[in-house]
Amino acid sequence: MKVKFSSIDKDLRNAGRLLKLLNNTFTESKLRFMYKLSRKSKMKVNDKTIQFSEEYIVRKDGSRLRICVFKPLALKEDVPGVLWLHGGGYALGSPEVSKLYAKKFIEVSDCIVIAPDYRLSIEAPYPAALEDSYEALLWMKNHADELGIRSDQLMVGGDSAGGGLTAALTLYTRDKGEVNIAFQMPLYPMLDDRMTTESAKENDAPVWNSKSNSLGWKLYLGCLFGTEKVPYYAAAARSEDYSKLPPTATFVGSLEPFRDETIYYVENLKKAGIPVHFEIFTGCYHGFDQICPKAEVTKKAHEFLVNCFKYAIENYFAKQDTEI
């Protein structure tokens, strides 16, 4: 899908031109360089409107998983708990960037947001990121009383690769049967390694195009890449059973590679009887809401997300009365 600059939303156009000029396509060497750079210069969260802290979970092999915890300044009891998974093509990113969404959810619900520093594909391919995400989810459930959250009000969300992890995690959690997830928010999710949809083929949009996407999947899947042995826990679009998944909210840009796979994912959820809130934002490339936070279309996207979040609290959580 070739993308003309004239088709990009006017508020996103200049940023799109600049991003294409600076980095038209990710290469493996670029990703590895950016990964090393990010590990040397740890992000900081300086925001006096929320509380921020770090915790560590010991993995089965003895290594430690760092998780970021975002809380309101005035803590309350029995609030929703949100596990948020950051994006970055499975190869980049850090949980500190989750502050963008965490603040929005905290403002309307006083919830607690947990963001794990899951292992990236450059460190370890699938299933490392999924395993870390599940460990963080279990930690959130097991520490619900300490955190002040209700274990029947656990939500999972993420953007881009984090959206793909969200969809995979809900499938994995459903099959494991150890945790109830009340609601999921996989935003413009990275779902399908096969890249056979119209929007995924020859997409040259800014930020994340088909070449970058193929590389992202190659690094994440390792020896599974290009085979039919890829499990749906790695690429959720490969699932053939969408039953018993949580109510869902998602949005996607009309110009990005993940447009069609998100549409198909939503259609499959609806066929399985899952309530879905879904919007396509015209003229938007991948990650537009983070790259251009002041754009009018971003305001609409974030308003949609927050409204879905509030609706979930008011309508879905009451139905999750049976704890596992």
Q: What is the CATH number of the domain that holds 91?
A: 3.40.50.1820
Contact 266, 278 (CB under 8 A): yes
Q: What is the pLDDT of residues 150-169, one digit of tens each?
A: 888 799 999 999 999 999 99
Q: Is the pLDDT of residue 319 over 70?
A: no
Would residue 80 count as lying in a domain? yes
pLDDT, tens digit, for every residue of 256-298? 999 999 999 999 999 999 999 999 999 999 999 999 999 999 9
| Structural domain contains residue 323 | no
Looking at residue 320, what is its pLDDT? 45
Residue 321 maps to a domain = no
Quickly list H helices, the chain. Answer: 10-22, 28-40, 99-109, 128-142, 144-147, 161-176, 210-221, 259-271, 288-291, 296-315
Is the pLDDT score of 322 beyond 60?
no
Structural domain range at position 99: 5-314
Q: Residue 70: inside a domain, yes or no?
A: yes
pLDDT at 231: 98
Query: Does residue 169 fall inside a structural domain?
Result: yes
pLDDT at 308: 98
Work out the pLDDT band at 323, boundaries 50, 70, 90: very low
**pLDDT at res. 318:** 59
Give me the number of domains the chain comprises. Answer: 1
Domain-embedded: residue 283: yes
- Percent of all residues in the chain with a pLDDT value above 70, rounded to a whole number: 98
User: What is the per-residue pLDDT for 210?
Assistant: 97
255 in helix, strand or coil? coil
**Mean per-residue pLDDT, 144-155:** 91
Mean pLDDT of the region 41-45: 79
Mean pLDDT of 26-44: 87
pLDDT band at 40 (very low <50, low <70, confident <90, very high): confident
For residue 151, the model assigns a pLDDT of 84
State mean pLDDT over 197-225: 97
List all residues 6 or more positions away from 156 whose beta carbon is below 8 Å from its beta carbon.
82, 83, 84, 85, 137, 166, 169, 170, 173, 181, 183, 184, 185, 246
Question: Higher-confidence residue: 304 or 36?
Answer: 304
Residue 321 clears pLDDT 90, i.e. is over it: no
**Would the pLDDT of 37 be above 90?**
no
Question: In the structure encoding, which two tokens stand for residue 229, read together?
Answer: 């042995």
Flag whether 248 is in a domain.
yes
Position 324 scores a pLDDT of: 42
Q: What is the mean pLDDT of the chain?
A: 95
**Within a domain: 324:** no
